[in-house]
Amino acid sequence: MNVKDTDVKVIDVKVGYHIYPPQLSALCNAVKSAASHTYSCAPAPMQYAAFKMLSDLESCDSYIKHCSRILKSVSTYCYNELTSVGVKAVQPKAGYYIFPDFEVVHNKLRQRGLETGQDMCDIIFEEASVALMSGGPAFLRPEDELTTRLCFVPFDGGKALNASREIGLETLLPSSFVQEYCTPVYDGIQVRNKS
């Protein structure tokens, strides 16, 4: 498998490793001991994929740069659109979700008899087919707070990656990139204009 192959479906699997300098060998041994009682090893296909990735660091580096700029473009789009209508949010620096606070609509929700963040998420799903995870107690937030975990990766990553590669790392992604290659995210954010 080559990192450049796009005909491979990717599932969410996590593999990691640690590198310890010699002066931290005691810490390394403690971590190994704790780990051996927590898990045994990653499944063989994951080990093979990690080996292949680490064997081709140049392709891996390119892949990471493309994915990072795609996610930055999507997160910037989400942040700009949400905050432009009064939703509070902190622009993500990494990752694949934003944690917006929809307090701006709290009074309108109360008028409809909706009090909690989960109530808001349920009605958004029912009326706009946009799925959000309520912040609430699952994220150590008050139940009536209108924070949500908005994951912005429900798009064809292979399509976006191919487009980013065609554009090249030396050229910025166009402002239309999210609409063109991350369409479900674009449509989900824009649905606010239709309701």
By three-state DSSP, how is residue 156 classified? coil
36: tokens are: 């051996």
Q: In the chain, where are the structural domains located? A: 1-55, 57-193
pLDDT in tens, the chain (195 residues): 444 555 555 555 567 778 899 999 999 999 888 877 766 677 788 888 888 878 888 888 999 999 999 999 999 999 999 999 999 999 998 889 999 999 999 999 999 999 999 999 999 999 988 889 999 888 889 999 999 999 999 899 999 999 999 999 999 999 999 999 999 999 999 986 444
Q: Are 87 and 104 in contact (CB under 8 A)?
A: yes
The pTM score is 0.73
Nearest by Cα to 192 from 134, 107, 124: 124
Q: Is 57-193 a domain of CATH 1.10.10.2120? A: no
pLDDT, tens only, 134-178: 998 888 899 999 999 999 998 999 999 999 999 999 999 999 999
